[in-house]
Amino acid sequence: MSVEPRTLDMEGTGRALLEGAPVLVGLPGDLEVNDQLFRPVWERTRRGWLALFGICMGMTGLLFTAIVYTFARGIGAWGNNIPVAWAFDIINFVWWIGIGHAGTLISAILLLFQQKWRTSINRFAEAMTLFAVMQAGIFPLVHLGRPWFFFWLFPYPSTLGLWPNFKSPLLWDVFAVSTYFTVSLLFWYVGLLPDLAALRDTSKSKAARVVYGIFSLGWRGSARHWRHYRVAYLLLAGLATPLVLSVHTIVSFDFAVSQLPGWHTTIFPPYFVAGAIFSGFAMVLTLMIPARKVLGLEHVITDRHLDNMAKVLLATGLMVSYGYATEHFIAWYSGNKLEAFAFFNTRPRGPYAPIYWLMLTCNVLVPQILWWKRARGSVWLLWIVSLLVNVGMWTERFVIIVTSLHRDFLPSSWAMYRPTWVDWSIFTGTIGFFGLLFLLFLRFVPSVAASEVKELRRELQHEEHARSQPPRAAAPAHGR
Amino acid sequence: MATSWVLAEFETEVGLCAALRRLRDLGHRRLDAHSPYPLHGVDEALGLRRSPVPLIALLFGVTGAVSGYLMQWWMNGVDFPINVANRTPHSPPTNIPITFELGILFAAVAIVLGLFALAGFPRTYHPVFEAEPFRTASVNALWLSAEVDPEQAEPLERELEKLGGLRITRVAEEGRR
């Protein structure tokens, strides 16, 4: 086994180390890494956690109350009408699913590109994906009107003798979102196995040992496990990468395949994917900045991570801005009166104009501050920017859906949409439910992948070692 | 037949690999290495072949995509054609998304189930867990394990000591009588 060729291969890390702050502050031992990252799991429940948990529990209660109310009264309990038949349900669906995409991007795409800085944040981001997709799924399900017949969406040999219409983008959505959730869950769980085993082995109580023992499936860190595990993990990342792009492409088809001005554009798939990653990175920052402070993970999730995420935020923000520009350009260039009316009258001057201008401010103007290194280095500023981007991306979906629908082709069909208390309750309820799941995640599972940090630490050590010594021609293969 | 498990901790990857090679040369075959993260060189030292997981993924991915396409063709084009605004019942472009998604779904599920089958999961009990020091294998230590007949355990322990093994532990597994 020779060490040198591998360390020379790792130009990515070497360059990264020269460029900025380290991806890991100090090189603590494996045991220290373990202790630090597992502390949130083993320590006693904190008061702050309990308080937040209570709040989120209350919001989740509101969510389920509003859902039960909707089931009892029907969709009429919402503000939806004709022509605005899609409103909060689809806005929130697209918003949540977009948030989820950053998790897959961080864990899968950055893994394939061998970006070392992903290691400390991938677990966190994947959990966010999973929980965000769960929130997203609630909306179309409830919007079915008769959700107890949800299985009609799937092709099963029913007594009706009917099959679903596979030419409908809404059915593509069913397959895309359910596949996305399944693959995200598998990827996250497989990634967790080594840490669950470490939790089993560091547990003090019998109960914890049994529970983590069951969930770690008997992981022994055997060379035979790792051999299949590494390939499986890499392949799942390779599959998740085109999957995440396809999911938001298909979500955008829900709109782009229709004939409605404001929806019927070919820029939608790439623009939606960029928007999804933009909002997802914003949400990762929103959650991670407080979490790393509270959990004391600043040496693992370093300023370097925040800086990199801010750069991704800026880049995807520019892509989204380009999407807006293209939409408006095509509306003018096509010479289509209805397109031009939608983009140059309804949006900037119609009754929902403030939301349109808020969208442009949050998504186009605000991220520009991230060109400055000092802005990216300021935790508070970054957190505020990330919140504004979350708001901006929600308003973007509002503009696309409600603003495009409320001015129908004939002025006699125009109508306004106003969300009811049920709409608001379900929306805020999902935020609470998301928070609830996230708090449970932070409490019961290490939020940073300890096994991967240990591996990264070892690689960085090798690199340090290689830099301090000029590379030898060939390391002797011992024992041969 | 009863077997014994001999466990030894090693301080470095290099030491662990060297010990594995030495034991293989001595004729031991039921060897394994345990570590909190994947090690380099251990697969070669143990003489492990390439993982078949990629092949499983390919087979199931193709199966998922093909069956996904055939399903849509048969259901919408053959068994129950639905005429929507006189569009063709079987329309290949509209069948691409679901074909793709099902390919991914089958491949991903097969990868995970394949991993479980190949690694023997779930198996929550294993004789090596009887050794208390072995619990560090998932935390910060590198361990070698060897499954041997009880009479071979003693010489193996002496050999491991010579090779630099620490905290050498033996677990006796009572077999079928």
Concatenated DSSP letters for A80-136?
Answer: --SS--SSHHHHHHHHHHHHHHHHHIIIIIHHHTT-GGGTTTHHHHHHHHHHHHHHH
| pLDDT for position A299 | 84
Q: Which of A161, A194, A228 sits opposite B118 (nearest CB)?
A: A228
A–B interface: beta-carbon pairs under 8 A: 204
Query: Is residue A384 classed exposed, middle or buried when 0-12, 13-18 and 19+ CB atoms within 10 A define those classes?
Result: middle
Q: Which two tokens stand for residue A374?
A: 């000092």
CA-based nearest residue in chain B for residue A197: B138
Q: What is the mean pLDDT of residues A126-131?
A: 93
| pLDDT for position A2 | 37
Query: Is residue A410 classed exposed, middle or buried when 0-12, 13-18 and 19+ CB atoms within 10 A define those classes?
Result: exposed
A230 to chain B, any CB pair closer than 8 A? The answer is yes
Q: What angle do CA B48, B12, B21 make, to 5 degrees?
A: 35
| pLDDT for position A27 | 62
pLDDT higher than 50, residue A381: yes
Q: Which of B46, B84, B101 sits opposite A223 (nearest CB)?
A: B46
Q: What is the mean pLDDT of residues A271-299?
A: 91
Taking contacts as CB-CB distances below 8 angstroms, the residues of chain B near A229 are 38, 115, 119
ipTM for the complex shown? 0.92
Taking contacts as CB-CB distances below 8 angstroms, the residues of chain A near B44 are 1
Residue with tokens 């007594």: A159
Q: Do A194 and B108 touch (CB under 8 A)?
A: no
Residue type, B166: L
DSSP state of A222: B
Alpha-carbon distance A42 to B18, whole Å? 37
Q: Which of A119, A224, A454 would best serve as a mutation to test chain B binding (most B beta carbons within 10 A)?
A: A224
pLDDT higher than 70, residue A19: no
DSSP-derived secondary structure for A374-421:
HHHH-HHHHHHHHHHHHHHHHHHHHIIIIIHHHS-SSGGG-------H
Q: What is the mean pLDDT of residues A405-415?
A: 92
For residue B173, give how far its alpha carbon lies from the nearest alpha carbon of chain A (Å): 17
pLDDT higher than 60, residue A473: no
For residue A479, give how far its alpha carbon lies from the nearest alpha carbon of chain B (Å): 6
- pTM confidence score: 0.90
For residue B176, give how far its alpha carbon lies from the nearest alpha carbon of chain A (Å): 22
Q: Which two tokens stand for residue A422?
A: 């049920």
Residue A479's region, left for phi above 0, alpha for psi from -120 to 50, else beta, is: left
A453, A119 contact by CB (below 8 A):
yes
Domain chopping of chain A, boundaries: 56-157+177-444
| pLDDT for position A478 | 46
Q: Which two tokens stand for residue A195?
A: 């840490």
For residue B24, give how far its alpha carbon lies from the nearest alpha carbon of chain A (Å): 12
Alpha-carbon distance A217 to A225, whole Å? 11
A397, A252 contact by CB (below 8 A):
no
**Mean pLDDT (chain A, rounded):** 88
pLDDT higher than 70, residue A449: yes
Q: Do B124 and A155 touch (CB under 8 A)?
A: no
Q: Which of residues 28-47 of B touch A (CB under 8 A)?
A: 32-44, 46
Chain center to CA of A368: 22
pLDDT higher than 70, residue A342: yes
Alpha-carbon distance B51 to A228, whole Å? 6
Taking contacts as CB-CB distances below 8 angstroms, the residues of chain A near B124 are 213-214, 216-218
Q: What is the mean pLDDT of residues A152-170?
A: 90
Shortest CA distance to A100 belongs to which of A132, A148, A61, A144? Answer: A132
DSSP state of A295: T
Alpha-carbon distance A327 to A417, whole Å? 23
| pLDDT for position B174 | 65
Q: What is the mean pLDDT of residues A355-378?
A: 96
Alpha-carbon distance B150 to B1, whole Å? 10
| pLDDT for position B59 | 97
Q: Which of A165, A176, A183 sits opposite B76 (nearest CB)?
A: A165
Torsion sign across C-alpha atoms A192, B11, A456, A241: negative
CA-based nearest residue in chain A for residue B141: A30
A108, A241 contact by CB (below 8 A):
yes
Least confident range of B1-5, B31-35, B97-101:
B1-5
Taking contacts as CB-CB distances below 8 angstroms, the residues of chain B near A216 are 124
Q: What is the pLDDT of residues A419-445, one digit of tens each?
A: 999 999 999 999 999 999 999 999 999
Query: Which residues are B6's β-sheet partners?
Result: B146, B170
N- to C-terminal Cα separation, chain B: 7
Sequence-separated (6 or more) residues with CB below 8 Å from residue A455: A119, B37, B38
Sequence-separated (6 or more) residues with CB below 8 Å from residue A375: A310, A369, A381, A382, A385
Residue with tokens 């209805």: A338
Q: What is the mean pLDDT of residues A138-155?
A: 90
Radius of gyration of chain A (CA): 24
Q: Cis ω on the peptide bond leading into residue A83 (within 30° of 0)? A: yes
Q: What is the mean pLDDT of residues A136-149?
A: 91
Alpha-carbon distance A399 to A318, whole Å? 19
Q: What is the pLDDT of residues A230-274, one digit of tens each?
A: 999 999 999 999 999 999 999 999 999 998 999 999 999 999 999
Q: Which of A172, A186, A223 sits opposite B97 (nearest CB)?
A: A172
B131 to chain A, any CB pair closer than 8 A? The answer is no
Query: Does the domain formed by B3-50+127-173 have CATH 3.30.70?
Result: yes
Q: Which of B105, B138, B163 would best serve as a mutation to test chain A binding (most A beta carbons within 10 A)?
A: B138
DSSP state of B135: G
Q: Which of B36, B101, B126 sits opposite A176 (nearest CB)?
A: B101
Alpha helix (H) residue ranges in A156-302:
169-202, 206-215, 223-256, 268-294
Q: Which of residues 128-167 of A touch B (CB under 8 A)?
A: 155, 161-167
Q: What is the pLDDT of residues A162-204, one digit of tens each?
A: 899 999 999 999 999 999 999 999 999 999 999 999 999 999 8
Query: Is residue A165 classed exposed, middle or buried when 0-12, 13-18 and 19+ CB atoms within 10 A define those classes?
Result: middle
Phi and psi at B167, nearest 5°, equal 45, 50
Alpha-carbon distance A198 to B13, whole Å? 19
Buried b (16+ CB within 10 A) or exposed e, B161-177: eebebeebbbbeeeeee
Residue with tokens 């690694």: B119
Q: What is the largest CA-CA distance in chain B?
A: 82
Alpha-carbon distance A26 to A462, whole Å? 14
Q: Do A179 and B104 touch (CB under 8 A)?
A: yes
Q: What is the mean pLDDT of residues B22-26?
A: 90
Q: Which of residues 186-225 of A touch B (CB under 8 A)?
A: 186-187, 189-190, 194, 197-198, 200-202, 213-214, 216-225
Residue B7's region, left for phi above 0, alpha for psi from -120 to 50, else beta, is: beta
Domain chopping of chain B, boundaries: 3-50+127-173, 53-119
Q: Which two tokens stand for residue A170?
A: 């809404």
Alpha-carbon distance A199 to A297, whole Å? 18
Q: Which two tokens stand for residue A124?
A: 């966190």
CA-based nearest residue in chain A for residue B90: A167
CA-based nearest residue in chain B for residue A214: B124
Alpha-carbon distance A3 to A478, whole Å? 12
Alpha-carbon distance B138 to B150, whole Å? 26
Sequence-separated (6 or more) residues with CB below 8 Å from residue B155: none
Q: What is the pLDDT of residues A50-86, one digit of tens each?
A: 999 999 999 999 999 999 999 999 999 999 999 999 9
For residue A330, what is the enclosing H or E element?
helix A303-333
How far CA A228 is from CA of A103, A233, B54, B120, B147, in Å, comes to 24, 8, 9, 11, 21
Shortest CA distance to A196 belongs to which of B36, B8, B109, B51? Answer: B36
Q: Which two tokens stand for residue A426?
A: 């379900």
Q: Which two tokens stand for residue A233?
A: 């993990």
Q: Do A30 and B95 touch (CB under 8 A)?
A: no
Taking contacts as CB-CB distances below 8 angstroms, the residues of chain A near B129 are 220
B1 pLDDT band, cuts 50/70/90, is low
pLDDT higher than 70, residue A18: no
CA-based nearest residue in chain A for residue B121: A217
Q: Which two tokens stand for residue A183?
A: 């693959």
| pLDDT for position A99 | 92
pLDDT higher than 70, residue A15: no
Q: Which of B17, B30, B40, B53 would best serve as a mutation to test chain A binding (most A beta carbons within 10 A)?
A: B53
Alpha-carbon distance A111 to B25, whole Å? 37
| pLDDT for position B153 | 84
Q: Do A223 and B34 touch (CB under 8 A)?
A: yes
CA-based nearest residue in chain A for residue B91: A167
Alpha-carbon distance A150 to A177, whole Å? 14
